């Protein structure tokens, strides 16, 4: 049996058959500074509740996978400055050693699937980094989408990445990339990427039906729902492009590699935009949480499988 520990609220929600939305914790420990990380984590949970679903923030604590964090646990995690960043490769080792750490998109998908949770909201998934042709830096999030049956709602892949290559890898892996409400793939802080999304579905009902159909076909893997940031909160791509280039140049010059790349770039872009990218990041996660809650609700109603 996997070492799963359900919060009382999630144990009750499971018993009652209520819709549950998984949330990751790396965005809390590595994606945003304190105290905005804690404020955002709380706001995202409230957004999911206001849409009639139950939030399950997932993290590893003392060798247990926690599905749902009580308020004091969430607050403690948000204040931890040296939390581990756990992906598929690290999860079992951390659990076997009784360690504590935050779960990435990939690890959160694994834990959500173990807990029977089908929908997960985040900010932006990891993907193919620029320069991957020499660095080989491709996020484990992409492989996870290919093998674990969870629908992930994100605002596209982060604009720090090579988005055309990220789309190519997702296509190769057979991952449906579904834009919601527009034809174009959104680019995290911006609604536009200049790239057409491979698929488009405009309602939670259609996304839920596609999720169920994958199961009926016996296809492993999940779906990536690319939900554009609300218009009022976006930062135009033209503003961000030079700042992203500057942050990437600094990362290269400082020899930042592997797991440290994404947290470094997010932090530098927050600084270079004087907090504007952080405000946009908060707004897009909350927007994704609301859509994920509606998808989870539809899934509990429509048992097509």
Residues that bind ligand PSU (CB under 6 A): 24, 26-27, 30-31, 104-105, 122-124, 126, 139-141, 259, 262, 266, 281
> Which does residue 24 touch among ligand PSU, Mn ion, none (CB within 5 to 8 A, set by kind)?
ligand PSU
Q: How far is the CB of 191 from ligand PSU (least distance, A)?
A: 16
> Which does residue 68 touch among Mn ion, ligand PSU, none (CB within 5 to 8 A, set by kind)?
none
134-142, 174-182, 269-277, 295-303 -> range binding Mn ion (CB under 5 A): 134-142
Residue nearest to ligand PSU (CB): 123
The CA distance from 260 to 84, in Å, is: 11
Q: How far is the CB of 168 from Mn ion (least distance, A)?
A: 17
User: Judged by CB under 5 A, how many residues of this single chain contact Mn ion?
Assistant: 1
Residue 24 falls in the annotated catalytic set = yes
Q: How many CA atoms lie within 13 A of 304 on its CB side?
A: 16
Three-state secondary-structure class, residue 147: helix
Q: How far is the CB of 135 from Mn ion (least distance, A)?
A: 9
> Which does residue 281 touch among ligand PSU, Mn ion, none (CB within 5 to 8 A, set by kind)?
ligand PSU
Candidate list 45, 158, 234, 259, residue with the active-site label: 158
177-182: long-range contacts, CB 8 A cutoff, minimum separation 24: 177/224, 177/226, 178/207, 178/210, 178/223, 178/224, 178/225, 178/226, 179/226, 179/228, 180/207, 180/225, 180/226, 180/227, 180/228, 180/291, 181/227, 181/228, 182/228
The helix (H) or strand (E) run that includes residue 58 is strand 54-61
Nearer to ligand PSU, 155 or 204 (CB): 155
Which positions are annotated as active-site residues? 24, 158
Note the residues at the interface with Mn ion (CB under 5 A).
Answer: 137
């Amino acid at each position: 049996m996997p070492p799963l520990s359900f919060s009382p609220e999630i144990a009750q929600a499971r018993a009652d058959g209520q819709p549950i939305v998984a949330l990751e914790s790396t965005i809390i420990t590595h994606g945003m500074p304190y105290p905005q990380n804690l404020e955002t984590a709380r706001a995202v949970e409230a957004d999911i509740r206001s849409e009639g679903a139950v939030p399950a923030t997932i993290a590893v604590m003392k060798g247990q996978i926690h599905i749902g964090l009580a308020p004091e646990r969430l607050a403690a995690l948000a204040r931890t400055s040296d939390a581990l960043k756990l992906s598929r490769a690290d999860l079992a080792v951390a659990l076997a050693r009784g360690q504590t750490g935050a779960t990435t998109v990939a690890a959160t998908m694994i834990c959500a699937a173990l807990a029977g949770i089908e929908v997960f909201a985040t900010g932006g998934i990891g993907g193919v980094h620029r320069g991957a042709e020499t660095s080989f830096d491709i996020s484990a999030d992409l492989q996870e989408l290919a093998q674990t049956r969870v629908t992930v709602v994100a605002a596209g892949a982060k604009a720090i990445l090579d988005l055309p290559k990220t789309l190519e890898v997702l296509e190769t892996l057979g991952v449906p990339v579904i834009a919601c409400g527009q034809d174009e793939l959104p680019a995290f802080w911006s609604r536009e990427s200049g790239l057409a999304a491979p698929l488009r579905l405009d309602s939670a009902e259609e996304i839920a039906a596609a999720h169920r159909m994958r199961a009926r076909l016996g296809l492993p893997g999940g779906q990536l729902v690319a939900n554009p940031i609300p218009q009022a909160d976006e930062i135009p791509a033209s503003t961000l492009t030079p700042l992203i280039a500057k942050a990437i140049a600094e990362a290269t010059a400082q020899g930042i590699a592997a797991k440290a790349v994404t947290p470094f770039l997010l932090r530098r872009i927050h600084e270079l935009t004087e907090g504007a990218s952080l405000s946009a990041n908060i707004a897009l996660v909350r927007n994704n949480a609301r859509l994920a809650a509606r998808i989870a609700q539809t899934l509990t109603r429509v048992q097509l499988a």
